Amino acid sequence: MKVIDLRSDTVTKPTTKMREVMAYAEVGDDVYGEDPTINKLEQKAAELVGKEAALFVASGTMGNLLAVMTHTQPGNEIILGKNSHIFQYEVGGLAKLAGVQARTLDDSEGIFSTKDLLSAIRGEDIHYPESGLVCLENTHNKAGGVAIPKNKIDEISKTAHQHNIPVHLDGARIFNAVTELEEQVIDLVAEVDSVMFCLSKGLAAPVGSILAGTQEFIDKARKNRKMLGGGMRQAGILAAAALVAIEEMIDRLALDHDLAKKLAEGIDSKVVTLESVNSNFVILKVNEQLYDTKGLITELDRKGIKVSQFGSDLLRVVTHKDISKEDIDRVIDIFSEL
Ligand SMILES: *Cc1c(COP(=O)(O)O)cnc(C)c1O
């Protein structure tokens, strides 16, 4: 039985082409700046998002942490959504490793309001920490994969900049946002100072993320990456696969979004109802009179379908390149048989 793994797009396997180019990638010592494939990836990634420079990092978590460390000083306060990945799911690295405290705002809809931002920005007072950074997320994971439109990103960025506060965008799934909004990525991230995006989620590279920003910012971030132990050597092997990810895997994300819609249209059954569908995320509400949520996850697992829990009575179902139309049909059938 083929397991249909819908827990996350992080489970995507590298493509055959990725494995081939990895085998023959030209490499060098990247800590000396001498890995030609890494250099090519960083240049292409910077051009792709319209920033001066980019840095290949081990993970999205490392990219976000580097952004926080590089934009701020220890003792600063950073402003971010209370449901943001950086606040919820990055092991408190912002406090422990960057030495900043978090000021969290309501981002239930995916982004906080300008009004809330303004009330959180610190003025001059002997008691206050300095507001060092604003962080946004697109697509927003905990809000159900919702894509944040350009005007909202721009408005928050403008307000932060008026107070001399830089803005970092956690764009782990920025290309899903671009696909959903039918925007150009360069426009969508034009007003933020730095952006991180993941190569290893929907884009299916085996490892890595990109942090992009000004040349000066990336130079500093590169040194911080070394401090964290993230200076890699013949990393061109990984960059080769990442180049395939950005050259060949972005345009196909629309297929994942289509599959999410297809699933959303067919899924209502006795056991679950559709809560939301955005980008490649489908959120389902469990009918707890029939199944408790954990019990349903176990039952689905027994039938070869993996989904993740997303709240007390919610399931998260994520489509990606290793999921086919037939898989979605089977998932719909299995739900209706429960
Ligand atoms: C996955 C994810 C990250 C972190 O990426 P890792 O590579 O898993 O460390 C950061 N932000 C968001 C919104 C994510 O979905």
pLDDT in tens, 277-317: 999 999 999 999 999 999 999 999 999 999 999 989 999 99
Average pLDDT over residues 178-187: 98
Ligand 1 centroid vs 51 CA: distance in angstroms?
A: 21
User: For a pocket test of ligand 1, which of 140, 141, 209 has the largest count of ligand atoms closer than 8 A to its C-beta?
Assistant: 141
Ligand 1 centroid vs 172 CA: distance in angstroms?
A: 6
d(CA 97, CA 15) in angstroms, rounded, equals 35
Are 90 and 84 in contact by the 8 Å Cβ rule? The answer is no
Atom 6 in ligand 1: residue holding the nearest Cα: 60
d(CA 320, CA 327) in angstroms, rounded, equals 11
The answer to whether the bond into 139 is cis (omega within 30° of 0) is yes
Atom 2 in ligand 1: residue holding the nearest Cα: 172
Please name the residue that has the structure tokens 């999205």: 60
Note the pLDDT tens digit of each residue in 69-120.
Answer: 999 999 999 999 999 999 999 999 999 999 999 999 999 999 999 999 999 9
The one-letter code for the residue type at 140 is H
**Quick check: helix, strand or coil at residue 27?**
coil
d(CA 26, CA 239) in angstroms, rounded, equals 10
Asked if residue 61 has its Cβ within 6 Å of ligand 1, the reply is yes
d(CA 171, CA 138) in angstroms, rounded, equals 5
Residue in 102, 195, 113, 193 with CA at minimum distance from that of residue 156: 113
d(CA 214, CA 204) in angstroms, rounded, equals 27
Atom 3 in ligand 1: residue holding the nearest Cα: 60
Mean pLDDT taken over the chain: 98
Radius of gyration of the chain (CA): 20
pLDDT band at 1; cut points 50, 70, 90: confident
Nearest ligand 1 atom to the CA of 140 is 13
Note the pLDDT tens digit of each residue in 223-280.
Answer: 999 999 999 999 999 999 999 999 999 999 999 999 999 999 999 999 999 999 999 9
d(CA 46, CA 62) in angstroms, rounded, equals 18
Select 13-248's CATH number: 3.40.50.2000, 3.10.129.10, 3.40.640.10, 3.30.160.160: 3.40.640.10
d(CA 171, CA 35) in angstroms, rounded, equals 26
Domain ranges across the chain: 13-248, 252-337
HSE on the CB side for 175, CA within 13 Å? Answer: 27
Residue in 75, 70, 60 with CA at minimum distance from that of residue 8: 60
Are 174 and 189 in contact by the 8 Å Cβ rule? The answer is yes
Asked if residue 209 has its Cβ within 6 Å of ligand 1, the reply is yes
Decide: pTM greater than 0.95: yes
Per-residue pLDDT, 170:
99
d(CA 314, CA 285) in angstroms, rounded, equals 5
Classify strands 272-278 and 281-286 as parallel, antiparallel or unpaired. antiparallel
d(CA 23, CA 63) in angstroms, rounded, equals 26
d(CA 301, CA 297) in angstroms, rounded, equals 6
HSE on the CB side for 145, CA within 13 Å? Answer: 27
Q: Is pLDDT at 3 greater than 90 in this prediction? A: yes
The pair of three-digit structure tokens given for residue 290, joined into one six-digit string: 């029939």
Average pLDDT over residues 39-58: 98
d(CA 264, CA 47) in angstroms, rounded, equals 35
Asked if residue 196 has its Cβ within 6 Å of ligand 1, the reply is no
**Quick check: helix, strand or coil at residue 246?**
helix
Ligand 1 centroid vs 110 CA: distance in angstroms?
A: 15
Which numeric CATH code is attached to 252-337?
3.90.1150.10
Atom 14 in ligand 1: residue holding the nearest Cα: 172
